[in-house]
Chain A
Amino acid sequence: MWFPNAEVTVNPALLLLLGVMVGTLSGFFGVGGGFLITGGLLVFGVPPVFAVGTGLALIMGSSIINTLKHCHLGNVDLRLGLIMLIGTVPGVFFAEQLNSTLDDAGIIGPVIRYVYIVFLAVFGGFIIYDHLKQRRNPTAAEGEISTASLARRVQRMRIPPHAIWLPGLGRVPTYVALPVSGIDQLSVFIPVIVGFSVGFFAGLLGAGGGFLLMPILIFGMGVPTTVAIGTDLFQIVVTGSWGTFIYALSHNVDPLMAIIMLGAASVGSQLGTAATAFVEPARIRILYGVTIMGGAISVALDQVSTYSDSLDFLSTLASVVLLSVAGTMCLIIAGMMIKAKRERKELATADD
């Protein structure tokens, strides 16, 4: 099928397959899946700049679908999401200024790849470490994270000023209760700083930033895994929309390709979001850790391929690794959901 904006012919079946995988992983992990979409589209022969631009359009669309679905399941903390947005928007703006400077210096490509590798490897490694540590700890409650005490300390932090004056509202305390996240009191400066940092790195990397925000919410702020997923997606709607707008202004989005993939992503989203209600949070976290470690290996291979012309094949290998990890994860998610559903049915029958 011919795509006039990207000026490329791509088999629509491949786009549908990629869309289903992105939708499933996005709904299950609460990430946009930018690293997966870009890698996949590059393998299909889409020019790199269109792969990023069209990928952002798909991230935006699929995160809207997933946010609405998670809203329905009660997994979105709108108050927390809106407070974080205060920091996210300027964060994205500052990142764009830095992007232009790096672009002028001609080092934007390697810098983005190195930052990606570090973040993906650190977060992926930590999540896997947390899972293994909790499995070996006999006193840990089921699903509890190793950083529970750190999260409690973050929640108890008191950051001045403790109240600010707002026109029309008078003195307003800078602490909020987040009942959806199960947090009694939290300084608003914490989610604003988190939003700014995530917006900054999302803008720098040209991604939705979900892969950073999800672990920060869970391990740093103590937000329950399913609520972190839903709230994370709400943030991605904003960062994804902004990215799509910027890339569309420079004619680097193929809407036809994005819509085809979005249709398929909506099918995967139904599976991914529904699976969060059946699979235990600890399992969601370990699968997420493995997926982003796969992403780190893929980006590292891509970076090594730039060192020499003879290593060009590593670029294709990187995308193949990424798609294989994503495809395997989708199958595991589907399998876990079927198993969990069957077990619940058996329990219900036994109860009757």
Chain B
Amino acid sequence: MVSSTGESHQLFHDYDYRRAADSPRLWRPKMNEFLTSYSSDHTLLWALLIIGVVAAAAISLHLFWTGVFQAVAALLGRRPKTPEDAG
């Protein structure tokens, strides 16, 4: 899309995926190489790895936030929330 000032604005429809793929700003090349090569070489393990990583990350994040809230509650001298507080 071209604006009245002649600038080119990119929308979803005119996004050129091939061009994006040709000029990657490589961020951590080793990890990128692992992510692309492992997914194509070990399909089943890759799928299981994704499920495992997402589940582990979710549980870790839950534990992290629980810990943070308990620490804040302890610092403020309040008791942590229990099911009875939910109403």
Contact = CB atoms under 8 A, between A and B. Distances in A.
Nearest to A72: B83
Interface of A is mostly: helix
Contact of B20 (A8, A64, A258): A8
A167 B70 CA distance: 45
Contacts of A75: 86
Interface pairs A-B: 7 shortest CB-CB: A74-B83, A248-B47, A64-B58, A266-B61, A4-B32, A73-B86, A7-B21
A88 interface: no
A2 interface: yes
Given A259-B53, A266-B65, 15 more contacts: A4-B32, A7-B21, A45-B20, A57-B54, A60-B55, A68-B59, A69-B62, A244-B54, A245-B47, A248-B51, A249-B43, A249-B47, A258-B50, A258-B54, A266-B64
B40 interface: yes
A248 B46 contact: yes
B9 to A, nearest CB: 11
A44 B10 CA distance: 10
Contacts of B11: 316
B57 to A, nearest CB: 6
Nearest to B63: A68
Nearest to B15: A45
A169 to B, nearest CB: 30
Contact of A1 (B27, B53, B54, B59): B27
A4 B34 CA distance: 10
